[in-house]
Amino acid sequence: MLSEGKKMLMLRVLVGLAWADRRIDQSERDFIASAARSLGLDEESLATIEAMLDKPQDKEDMELLLRDFLHGTLTRPERSKLIELMEGLVRADGEVSETERELIEQITRIRQLAAPFGRLRQAMTKNGAEHQKGPKSRGSGS
């Protein structure tokens, strides 16, 4: 079951992708609304998404979106679902703009780069926890 935060992250990515060409077609709005319903978004989150659909996303919004996506903790199945939704959105209006294509490529690169760092961070956290345990264990046996 997806948390509300993960649902919002996925939908924010979709909204950002829809705005990539500086316009949103009705077919894209319909697709995002359908995705929001299928994910079971709560009323407050739905209102937030609807507001985002009415306001063009600027460069700063897109940078925040990419940062959130980079730091999002989507599992592999959740990422697969997001990619499936992105593909559906891109097909919704029957055309893929160069800007939409570039955004998809940028998101894909970010996630590919983030994966090894996520594994490194996990390893460091695990090793750090073991390192912290080590000295305490030795100190308590003296």
Q: Look at residue 121 and tell me whether its pLDDT is greater than 60.
A: no
Half-sphere CA count of 16, side-chain side, radius 13 A: 25
Locate the domains of the chain by residue range. 4-115
Is residue 47 pLDDT above 80, yes or no? Answer: yes
Return the CATH fold of 4-115. Answer: TerB-like (1.10.3680)
The residue behind tokens 């090793």 is: 127
Query: Number of H helices and number of E strands within the chain?
Result: 6, 0
Task: Please give the average per-residue pLDDT across 27-48, as a whole number.
Answer: 92
Q: pLDDT at position 138, please?
A: 45
Query: What's the number of CA atoms in the CB half-sphere (13 Å) around residue 110?
Result: 17
Task: Provide CB contacts within 8 A for 127, sequence distance 6+.
Answer: none
| pLDDT higher than 60, residue 134 | no
- Does this model's pTM top 0.85? My answer is no
